[in-house]
Amino acid sequence: MEIESLLRELGFSEVETKTHAIGFSHPALGRRLVYLKDGRSNLSAKRKAVRKQPLVVHPDVQSLAGFESTRVAALSPNRKYMNGNMSTFPIGSGSSATGVAVDIEDMEALRELLGLMGLPPVSCVSTALSPKQSHKVPMAPASRSRSLAVEAPVVSLPAAPAKSTHTYTTSVAVDFAEHCCQGSGHLVAGSFGIDDLTIATEGPRRLRFAPLGNRPSAPRLALVGITPGGQIERFASLLATESVEVAARKAAFDGAQSAIKQLLAAHGFAERIGVSLDGDLNENPDILTTSVVKCCLMVDDGYRFAAPDIAASSAAKRCATERLVRELCSYSNLRWVVVFGKPAWVALHELRIDGQSVIEALRAHGLVVVQLPHFAQNFQQRALFTCDVAAEAALLAAKPDYAKYATGARPMRDKLLAELEHSYNSN
């Protein structure tokens, strides 16, 4: 089957046709396109994708965790492919846009690559466990049941690791101290670049102003990422028309809400704690959105998401300890804290405040802190997490190569179910 047919089978649609470059989009990938290398000499000839490395993805895909272990990475991709007609890709050292051209052996190799980029797998979500299933968690009372809005999944990639030359605009001056625990720096009204958002520089590490998140007055659930990545560029773009508060709210988890909703809906979690997933999560009065490091931590102008990088930056460490604990413990109604992905989870265990780990401090305050898979990485782990025991067995029988991801998914699922049961029995 030709690569174009494979893309269409996965729900991609053609949105751009130029000489030697056909752009395809998918709702799950947001504004990011993938391109097919078109072998025609002109657009009036019969369409034909080239056989060698026909698919071209954004250059930042190769910096995603897990890319180097994919099948396409093992086939010597062209990491410096250039074609001036890939209009949504960054311009390289010359005048042509650049991307990573890859060979695709079969549908599974394509799914693996696109799953890494954020394309959801075939869902095996069980939105509620019945009493006959292995984990017996009582159903929430009918009066607390809320419908889950159906929407096209949208998961964005991090923007290109930026040493960005893009220029943004703010209509008003911004004092960082009014919005950030570090309290250093400002923007004057007019144009600015990403580097102008720098709060602190410590060797190769830079903490850049992007205090993303929703801050309702009485949240019951907190969603915690590790630190903003490419969303800093979304935040910077929004400053042209929005206040810092609105831009920070809209940019939080930009493009990832459908994937996050699937994780929160799994096993009836959101319904059982009485939180509706309807609409925009950043407009939900029951949900606080934030990060371990609230602003954007970058190292050598690339995004980093690990506890050692946070600990090595005094500014980032202060944000991840003092600010995070103070923020989460300041709400009397807040009970549940969801932490996405391993790096954020490890950071909460390794970083310390007042002689104890951050997670110990949060739990001592009475917060229930649970880990969920990251919403934009390891689609296999996400698929297994959303399965109940029976569905997991069926999935592993069909996809035995997923077994290595089960060791990560099961503890998260089991802990969530145990906490739900404990919460129900306590009430």
Rounded to whole angstroms, how far apart are CA atoms 52 and 34? 16
Query: Which range is least confidently modeled, 74-78, 217-221, 323-327, 353-357?
Result: 74-78
Q: What is the pLDDT of residues 273-321, one digit of tens each?
A: 999 999 999 999 999 999 999 998 887 766 656 677 788 889 899 999 9
Query: Which range is least confidently modeled, 8-12, 200-204, 325-329, 422-426?
Result: 422-426
Rounded to whole angstroms, how far apart are CA atoms 162 and 169? 17
* For range 256-283, the mean pLDDT: 94
Residue 247's closest CA among 261, 230, 233, 226?
233
| pLDDT of 157 over the 60 cut | no
Could you tell me the pTM of the whole model? 0.66
Whole-angstrom distance between the N-terminal and C-terminal Cα of the chain? Answer: 56
Question: What are the chain's domains?
Answer: 3-117 (3.90.1150.40), 142-426 (no CATH)
Q: What is the pLDDT of residues 50-67, one digit of tens each?
A: 888 999 999 889 888 788
Phi/psi at 54 (5° precision): -75, -25
Kindly indicate the confidence band of residue 163, based on its pLDDT and cuts at 50, 70 and 90. Answer: very low
The per-residue pLDDT of the chain, averaged, comes to: 83
Rounded to whole angstroms, how far apart are CA atoms 224 and 287? 11
Q: What is the pLDDT of residues 231-240, one digit of tens each?
A: 888 899 999 9
| pLDDT of 44 over the 60 cut | yes
Q: What pLDDT does residue 427 have?
A: 65
Distances (CA, A) of 114 to 7, 59, 243, 305: 10, 14, 35, 21
Distances (CA, A) of 312 to 142, 151, 182, 238, 339: 49, 40, 16, 30, 21
Q: What pLDDT does residue 121 have?
A: 65
Phi/psi at 337 (5° precision): -125, 120
Burial 23-53 (b: 16+ CB within 10 A, else e): bbbbebbbebbbbbbbeeeeeeeeeebeeeb
* For range 374-397, the mean pLDDT: 90
Q: What pLDDT does residue 255 have?
A: 76
Judge residue 399's burial from the number of C-beta atoms within 10 Å of its C-beta, 0-12 exposed, 13-18 middle, 19 or more buried.
Answer: middle
Write out the two tokens for 413: 């699922």
Q: What pLDDT does residue 137 have?
A: 35
Query: Which range is least confidently modeled, 14-18, 243-247, 333-337, 395-399?
Result: 14-18
Q: What is the pLDDT of residues 104-133, one digit of tens each?
A: 888 888 988 998 888 876 434 333 333 333
* For range 363-371, the mean pLDDT: 97
